[in-house]
Amino acid sequence: MTTITIDNKEYDLESLSDDAKAQLGSIQFVDSELARLQAKAAALQTARLAYSKALQAALPAIGGSDTIKL
C-alpha cells in the first residue's frame, strides 16, 4: 500500500479518485517545473555575474574609479 500525506493526513494512493490522482499529478508536474526553473535561474544569475565581471575588466578606468554599477 502506497500512501501520501496531505495536510498531516495519510491517504492510500490506490483509493483516490481519478480526479484526485490527476490533481496530484499536476502538482507533481508543477513542483518539478518550478525546481527546473529555479535551477535555470540560478545558472543564469551566475552567468550574469561572470559577464558583469568580464565587462568591468574590459572597460577602461574613468576618473580614478574602476568599478561600475549595473
pLDDT digits (tens, 9 = 90+) for 10-69: 999 999 999 999 999 999 999 999 999 999 999 999 999 999 999 999 999 887 655 666
Please indicate, yes or no, if residue 64 is contained in any of the structural domains.
Answer: no
Cell numbers found for residue 67: 568599478
The pLDDT of residue 67 is 64
Q: Is 70 part of any domain?
A: no
- Residue 68 is predicted with a pLDDT of 62
Q: Is residue 67 part of a domain?
A: no
Q: Is residue 53 part of a domain?
A: yes
Query: Is residue 66 a part of any domain in this protein?
Result: no
Does residue 40 lie in a domain region? yes
**Ramachandran quadrant class, 53 (left: phi over 0; alpha: psi -120 to 50; beta: rest):** alpha
Structural domains counted in the chain: 1
Q: Which domain holds residue 47?
A: 3-58
